[in-house]
Amino acid sequence: MIETRRRPRRTLSRVALSGSVLCGLVLPAAWTGQAQARDLRIGLAAEATSMDPHFHNLGPNNSLRRHIFEGLVTTDAAMAVVPALALSWTADDEHTWTFKLRQNVTFSDGTPFTANDVIYTFCRIPLVENSPSSFATFVRPFESVAAPDPLTVVIKTAGPLPLLPTNITALGMLSAKASGAAGPVAFAKGGCTGMGTPPKSIDFGNPKVAVGTGPYALKEYVRGTQVVLSKNPTHWGAAPAFDTVTMKPIVSTGPRVAALLAGDADLIENPAIQDLPRIEAAGFTVTKGLSNRIIYIHLDQFDGAGWKTPTIRGTDKNPLLDKRVREALSKGIDRKAIVERVMGGVAQAAGELLPFPLSGTTKDFPVVPYDPKAAKDLLAQAGYPNGFEITLGTPNDRYINDEKIAQAVAQMWSRIGVKTSLDASTSSTFFTRRNTFSFSAYLAGWGADSGEMSNSLNSLLLCFDPETGRGFTNRGRYCSREVDRLTIEAMRTFDEAERSALLRRASALAMADYPLIPLHFEVTPWATVKSLRYTPRIDQYTLAMDVVVVK
């Protein structure tokens, strides 16, 4: 038996901040402590792209999912791994994990939660079609999943998988019965049996189908308008403070702040940085915390005859295949200016894909310095003394100041001779176009759900491999066999110190190749009415069950 330990809590205290309440506020009756139903109204900065908990590995989706569909294992605000539907887990050997489930857990429709529901969930995830960022990478290494009894799950893996408990924190458990399975489900790597209704036919926008074990149940879903959750009276854990939670997507920062100030929202995500002093002066509470989300620019590194893209002009070949060009573009960006002027100081310049001290990161990892002269010299050395033209794609409603950041980058690149135009669109449109390779360069963000480096490397930089799921969000198709080797070795290493060392090497090697351009880590703000408090989460999730009522 291999000894397993939960990772210690990590605190990113250097830039974790909290605002103060500066003056009083007249509160609605729901917040006065009276013995009556409490409702919580949340203004979301971004809407989930689907109610299906396995369709899109995206922050807003994952945050919403946790209210309804719990995992076997979860993470706390500091991304420490903690029990959820599984009370304990043990590595019996390098290829076998045993999970012991909680007793007397039921779904919101009263159906008992058992190991069969776990098997159904693991079977379904690889079958979800057209996922922009799939969860399948987490279950593809499974050789078998068995249930010796209703409260035990045994997972056999093809190779050593020490991060399995961490990886499955991203996977919400479904009710096999509510999802259309008539009886026992059997897991087989070549195809499961007993699945019933095909995954694409399951309507998770229907409260009768969106059945989970979470502290809340789905009451109403109107795409583009609101998600309404009601307290799950059968939940096994502590009862949340609110009977009803209404989440409204208000993607523009101005209207979102206005909703808070007007009393139409009790908590909002990502208030505009320039509005924070005004929000605090009006008697609201602002809290901020460093996140694990890297804002970066992905670069097209496709190769081969017939290369053609509409977003690079002035050359008959892909200049981004040349490391010198990628380095020039990185050195042509003044990250300090973006942090100070665009982000108002509420961000941290980045050199790699995760902030220290998360697992696999390096303390004081160097940030690429702004050096426009060196950038121009590198372009000339690469055969582009007069530069070329490029279009930078970006969402305009997904990340904090995303379009403003992209505008700043476009101006900086133009100054070094790479004439840059901007193509900004709403996140739903942007991600659809990104996934069809419409951009040779695009701004995006990534938050490592596991809180450790292999997640970021595996998703963004490992060689794209649809069979294993590696590199699934590597739209630039960068590929380094040595980065792959080190990362895969790390993901097979049970000793945490040794695994972290391998990941540090892999990260340093990758960053030296300029496969993409890290810009900064977001520092996430939340604003609440005076009677509420919210503890910042590294993963940026807004969880209603973590909102505390204060007197």
Question: Among 270, 213, 288, which residue's Cα sits nearest to residue 60?
Answer: 270
What gap in Å lies between CA 307 and CA 420, rounded to an integer?
20
Q: What DSSP state is assigned to residue 5?
A: -
Residue with tokens 């892909």: 318
Q: Is 441 in contact with 296 (CB distance < 8 Å)?
A: no
Q: Is 154 in contact with 97 (CB distance < 8 Å)?
A: yes
List CB contacts of 306: < 8 A, sequence separation 6 or more: none
pTM: predicted TM-score of the whole model, two decimal places: 0.78
- Fold classification of 52-202 is Dipeptide-binding Protein; domain 1 (3.90.76)
pLDDT by 10s per residue, the chain, length 551: 444 434 434 444 333 333 332 233 333 333 333 334 589 999 999 999 999 999 998 889 999 999 999 999 999 998 899 999 999 999 999 999 999 999 999 999 999 999 999 999 999 999 998 888 889 889 999 999 999 999 999 999 998 999 999 999 999 999 999 999 989 999 988 789 999 888 778 999 999 999 999 999 999 999 999 999 999 999 999 999 999 999 999 999 999 999 999 999 999 999 988 899 999 999 999 999 999 999 999 999 987 655 666 688 888 889 999 999 999 999 999 999 999 999 999 999 999 999 998 889 999 999 999 999 999 999 999 999 999 999 999 999 889 899 999 999 999 999 999 999 999 999 889 988 888 888 999 999 998 877 889 989 998 999 988 877 787 888 888 999 999 999 999 999 999 999 999 999 999 999 999 999 999 999 999 999 999 999 999 999 999 999 999 97
- Chain region(s) in the chain for CATH 3.90.76.10: 52-202
Question: Among 226, 86, 228, 80, which residue's Cα sits nearest to residue 539?
Answer: 80
Please report the pLDDT score of residue 450 as a whole number: 78
Question: Among 348, 341, 335, which residue's Cα sits nearest to residue 297?
Answer: 335
- Chain region(s) in the chain for CATH 3.10.105.10: 289-523
Q: Please, what's the largest Cα pairwise distance for the chain?
A: 73
Sheet with 96-101: list strands edge to edge.
86-93, 96-101, 152-157, 142-149
List CB contacts of 391: < 8 A, sequence separation 6 or more: 310, 311, 312, 420, 421, 422, 423, 439, 440, 441
Torsion of CA 59, 60, 64, 65, to 10 degrees: -40
- Fold classification of 289-523 is Dipeptide-binding Protein; domain 3 (3.10.105)
Q: What DSSP state is assigned to residue 346?
A: -
* Structure token digits, residue 57: 């590995």
Q: Is 56 in contact with 49 (CB distance < 8 Å)?
A: yes
Coil, helix or strand at residue 501 = helix
Question: Among 250, 214, 248, which residue's Cα sits nearest to residue 232?
Answer: 214
Please report the pLDDT score of residue 13 as a whole number: 35
